[in-house]
Structures are given as structure tokens and as C-alpha cells.
Structure 1
């Protein structure tokens, strides 16, 4: 049987926060084999995500954080598949902005391990972009799913409500840059990068501030 793999889907929609709105493209990551899978960030289009999952059993819908563009399709995908929606409790205030009448099905916690297709995904709590932001580290796949915490070229945005620049830099330094340099970082938007490519930028981030 083929081993665990990472499938990638890009969906498009609107990010809304603090009275503003922006058109965005989101990365949806699907980790699994031919029989089961986990979705990271059910963004914008439940139908497209369900089609990409196909006939596999969806074990969980993991939210890297509670911004609407990362969770807007989660309830619909959960309804279609029966999979639980998982979110760090610190991001429930953001979740409720999008889904006031529907709670997540379960909580994510730092150090928690989710297993799919024989592969472990370890939850790393990485606040800063959002209070309950998490990354998912899959050492067997040589990858970490970074949500909006770390992008190619630097940290996620911290100029809006519930975000903090010193906190995100601390999260990246202590939780992500400690991973092997060749670890592929797969973010919530844009191209993938590696931990080694981003490490030299830390002094520039600190000097720039927000």
C-alpha cells in the first residue's frame, strides 16, 4: 500500500478582520494515504476539498488558527465527512466571528500527536499571528505545516487584532527554527520554503519590528 503523502489544494476567497476584507488564495494541505487523511485548514471551498479527499476516511479537520479564511469551510466539510474540527482553545474568539452558532468539535494542545496513515503530526503551539495559532510537525515526512506563522521570507502578519509581533518571533525562534534545516515549511499562503532558508532572516525581523 502506498505510504503517507501530502496533497496540496489552493482555494480562493475573502479574508475579513477588523472591518477590512482582502481577496486571498489559501493553501489546503491533505495528509494521508489511499484510505485515510487529515485536512489542515479547510479554506473557502468545502466541495473542492471533499473532492480532493475523495473516498478516503477523513480523520480530522485541523485549523492552524481561527481566522475566517482558514476555517470558513470547516463546518460544511465536517458535515459532509463526519470528521471533527479541531482548534486551539485560545483561538475560539476568532472562530466565533465566523461561526457564532457552531463550536469546534475538539481542542488542540501543544505536544498533542495526531496520527494518520501511520504518520505522526505533532502540534506546536506558536502564538503571535493569532493567540491559538499552531503548526503541525511531521518529522517522518520532513515537513512542518506552518499556517500563517512562518512564510517564505518571514513571519506572518501581526498588525491586526489578537496578534503580536514579539510573540510570533519568539514562537518561530523557539519552536520552528529548532527543527532540522532541511525541514520543508508548508504555509497557509504562498510557496513552501525550508527552515534553513528562513533562519538567517531572524536578525532582520527583529530589526524591522512591527
Structure 2
């Protein structure tokens, strides 16, 4: 997974609260092989009418080139399905800014290169006002924790280890491997000071 520290893209307002993972990708589509891509399933039941046609006024239908969502509270709540993140990533979404996220969704997002950036309620409202119904060119400075739309700049919160993983393109194994020397030193010390704690063949 390639890392990144800056992203320039178009942001759109998607100010719905409590958008859960079943809305992000309905469960009936999850038998589709990952290799076929999940972009067409993203927010399917909100984006399309009963006949399967796109709602012309839905934000992601009006602005298909958008790569940044400004979303409402509790984004990605519900079940732990990682496919919700796949659908966003496959649709070209690089970051979601929201006042809060589902915990498991946020962890899955980082592991797939998607930024789950937390902003205050006041900054969320400010960004929604700035965007209106349009798509504005925006910039994310991941290393500085700053998001800009024109002259408007807001900070965002992100766990430091998640920031490191996104910038370096690391998964959990890559992150753990950065501590390999400490791990080996601990194993050596443990063998010396507490040999009884290990299987006899490993002493």
C-alpha cells in the first residue's frame, strides 16, 4: 500500500449522521469477489432509486470526481465489515472528515490507506457551509494534521500511530516490525531471567 502525506482533491458535503456500514455497502453485494471492485456498490440504496437509476441530486452522483467527503457524526458505525472501506477506496475516496467514526471502521480505513479525520462539530459546520452543494478543490496535509479549502483551514485529529501508518503505507505487521530490535532484546532477556516461562524445547 503506497503511503502519502499530502492529498489535493475535490471535497463535497455529505452531512448525514449515523451512516452505517450497511448503508456504505449493503450486505447483499458482499459476495462479489474483491477483485471486481466495490465502487458501484458504495451507498447504493441512497444513490439509486427503485428502478436502479442514479438520483441526480445525490452528492456523489453530481460530483463523481470527488475524493474527500465531509460527513456527519458516527460515520461507519454498525457491523465490522471491511467491505465498507473497500467501497470507498474503490470509488476514489481518499479521506473522510467527520466529528466521529465507528471504531472498527476507522481502524479498517487506516489499514487500507483511507484517512478517517476527526474534526470538531464547529469545524464540521464550517466546512459544510464552505462547500454548500459544490465540490471545492481542497488540500490535506497529513503530517501537519491540517485541512484547507481555499482560505479556510481546520485542524483534524488522528492517532499518531495511524498517521505513521498512512504516511509510510504500513499495515499492522509493518508497524510491529519497526520494533523488531526491542522484541528480540526482550526475548533474549526473558530466556535469561525467566526460562521457566518458555517451552522446554525453546529454552
TM over 0.5: no
Which has the bigger relative contact order, CA under 8 A and spacing at least 6? 2
Would you tell me which structure has more helix in proportion to its own residues?
A: 2
Higher strand share: 1
TM-score calculated relative to the size of structure 1: 0.28
